[in-house]
A and B are shown apart, each in its own frame.
Chain A
Amino acid sequence: MLVKQLSVFMENRPGRLYKLTHALGKEGIDFVTLSIADTKDFGIVRFIARDNEKAYEILKKEGFTVGITELIGVEVADKPNALAEVVSLMEESQINIEYLYSFVLTNHNTAKILMRVNDTDRALTILQNKGIKLLSEKIL
């Protein structure tokens, strides 16, 4: 029911992101999505690859500080207010969204939302009860 994501700790200085993307690119790893949380000194790069396991192995071998996290993924219609509806469900139940990002695949009319919350099990139940389509790694 959950989507696997890779997260990499990175110093906030020139050349670091290139090193990461190049390490994966030259091994033929394709990104599905990528986002960066940045602070003055460091950033955390979060991404999903077509082949997460392989990406993880490559990065480990290259010495990156990399981990795999599981996120809730939902699919909604690519239209106004779709994101707000999902977010409001969490808010009503007092579930805190720790971070969230979304993306649209060009050949679909849907948007994918990925989020990490402080109570994954309860969030999943709520979303399922409301009939919201949950993503798994395969659907991506």
Chain B
Amino acid sequence: MSKVKDYIYAPEYECLSRSEMENLQSERLQKTVELVYNNCKPYRAKMDELKLKPSDIRSVSDLAKLPFTVKHDLREAYPFGFYSSPAHDIVEVHASSGTTGKLTVVGYTQNDINVWSEIAARSLAMAGVTKDSMVHVAYGYGLFTGGLGAHYGAQKIGASTVPASAGNTIRQLTLMRDFGATHLCCTPSYAIFLGTEIQKAGMDIKDFSLIGGAFGAEPWTYQMREELERLLGIDALDIYGLSEICGPGVAMECMQKHGCHIQEDHFIPEIIDPETLEPLPFGCEGELVFTTITKTGQPLIRYRTRDLCTLSNEKCACGRTTVKMGKVKGRSDDMLIIRGVNVFPSQIEAAIMNVSGVSPHYMIYVDRVNNLDIMEIDIELDGNLAPDKVSDVEAIKKKVETEVNSYIGLSAKIKLCESGSIKRSEGKAVRVIDRRE
């Protein structure tokens, strides 16, 4: 029996008719295109190349005329080349990992932080967070947007917010029990892990006050939801976001538990065919693309998320009229999400290349053990080495561990292998074996 009493935080935006929403989007899109054209060099260049002027964009139906933006564009402009506002208007900077070790930077103005707080608040309202709630945030705080996103949302509502950040399971559980946390925000895999640790820690779920939570930053299945809900006795809802667009709250699942409502008055979604780049109709699976229409620090036009999913405009029983996105089915690139952190195999390769004594032949294995993601990297020792001391080999292993950790911010188990032992592939190299379900 659900204990969550959900509500619509901003019905004036979340329940608009289609024509009202399109009018609002059109007006905001025009302003955004004007802003980026006049203030962001890469966008001016992209639009000039297409001989496109801001005045050519009059409504959302003109969206497809606009150029796409990809992660690579942001990296090329590292660190602040995608700002559309003067640097002195930026009040916060976040970053996520890029494909070659270079970070993807996102600058937020105060306006953007307000937008983020608003959408995160709307999201948490879907999980029933009110002024009376105690929200335990066990996402990592820092450059990663998970922690602060949930934090801003909970504070906007006026709930008590516990910025526990990630790690230290026993302390997390003790805080949640003793403070009477009603809601938990973290990655779904960590939530399940916390659930399984309660008994081991000699605690009883009956002593907890949890009723719901928002879980995201990594794809998860309906089976995981069932397990999570059973372990913690809560309603577990999916929250979606990416730092380039805003952070968590870009979309969130309502209590119908059937797709995430996209905050369409801030972000216009599209689904495209990742090969032809043509927009696809509702219901077709393709790559999710977002255009931000209220941000001012670093607005993005038709940003390709690389997440594969479907969009739906079917009426939702919750009363919201916003478009919903289905579960993310996969990626149109080779990015892995490990413990909520974005990892590209190319980053690992770049890290490994910094270590002398190993070859560029490696294989990455990702497993989920006790609901936690575990990464192992098997890598061949350089065939020309003449190791006779164990300590020399151990030192190489340690160096690989340190480099990988500093490149991707995650620890990996390193296994050194004999030269020639890792299977050479013909054609496209298989570097990653993801054994998670």
A residues with CB within 8 A of B: 5, 7, 9-11, 16, 37, 39, 41-42, 44, 46, 63-69, 98-99, 116
Contact residues, B356-383 vs A (CB, 8 A)? 381-383
Please pick, from A16, A39, A46, A63, the residue contacting B388 in the complex, using a CB distance under 8 A.
Answer: A46
Number of A-B contacts (CB under 8 A): 57
Instruction: Give Cα distance in the complex from A39 to B388, angstroms.
Output: 13
Please pick, from A5, A44, A116, the residue contacting B387 in the complex, using a CB distance under 8 A.
Answer: A44
Instruction: Give Cα distance in the complex from A69 to B384, angstroms.
Output: 14
Residues on the B chain within 8 Å of A99, using CB: 389
Q: What 6 A-B pairs come out closest when comparing CB atoms? A: A67-B386, A7-B388, A69-B388, A63-B420, A65-B419, A37-B390
> Do residues A42 and B393 form an inter-chain contact, with CB atoms below 8 A?
yes
Instruction: Give Cα distance in the complex from A100 to B385, angstroms.
Output: 21
Any A CB within 8 A of the CB of B333 = no
> Do residues B418 and A44 form an inter-chain contact, with CB atoms below 8 A?
no
Any A CB within 8 A of the CB of B416 = yes
| With A39-B390, A41-B416, A42-B416 already in contact, 10 other A-B pairs whose C-beta atoms are closer than 8 Å | A5-B388, A11-B421, A16-B418, A41-B415, A63-B418, A63-B419, A64-B418, A65-B382, A65-B387, A69-B388
Instruction: Give Cα distance in the complex from A44 to B416, angstroms.
Output: 12
**Secondary structure type dominating chain A contacts:** strand
Instruction: Give Cα distance in the complex from A42 to B418, angstroms.
Output: 9
Residues on the A chain within 8 Å of B387, using CB: 7, 9, 44, 65, 67
Please pick, from A10, A16, A65, A116, the residue contacting B389 in the complex, using a CB distance under 8 A.
Answer: A116
Q: Nearest B residue to A62 by beta-carbon distance?
A: B420
Q: Please give the distance in Å from A75's CB to the nearest CB on chain B.
A: 22
Instruction: Give Cα distance in the complex from A65 to B417, angstroms.
Output: 10
Contact residues, B389-403 vs A (CB, 8 A)? 389-391, 393-394
6 pairs, A vs B, C-beta closer than 8 Å: A9-B418, A11-B418, A16-B418, A41-B416, A42-B393, A67-B387
Q: Please give the distance in Å from A24's CB to the nearest CB on chain B.
A: 16
Binary A-proximity of B158-183 (CB < 8 A = 1, otherwise 0): 00000000000000000000000000
Instruction: Give Cα distance in the complex from A46 to B382, angstroms.
Output: 18
Q: Nearest B residue to A60 by beta-carbon distance?
A: B383
Residues on the B chain within 8 Å of A41, using CB: 415-416
Q: Nearest B residue to A16 by beta-carbon distance?
A: B418
Among A44, A65, A69, find the residue whose CB has the most chain B CB atoms closer than 10 A.
A65
Instruction: Give Cα distance in the complex from A9 to B382, angstroms.
Output: 10
Please pick, from B391, B393, B415, the residue contacting A9 in the complex, using a CB distance under 8 A.
Answer: B393
Q: Please give the distance in Å from A84's CB to the nearest CB on chain B.
A: 23
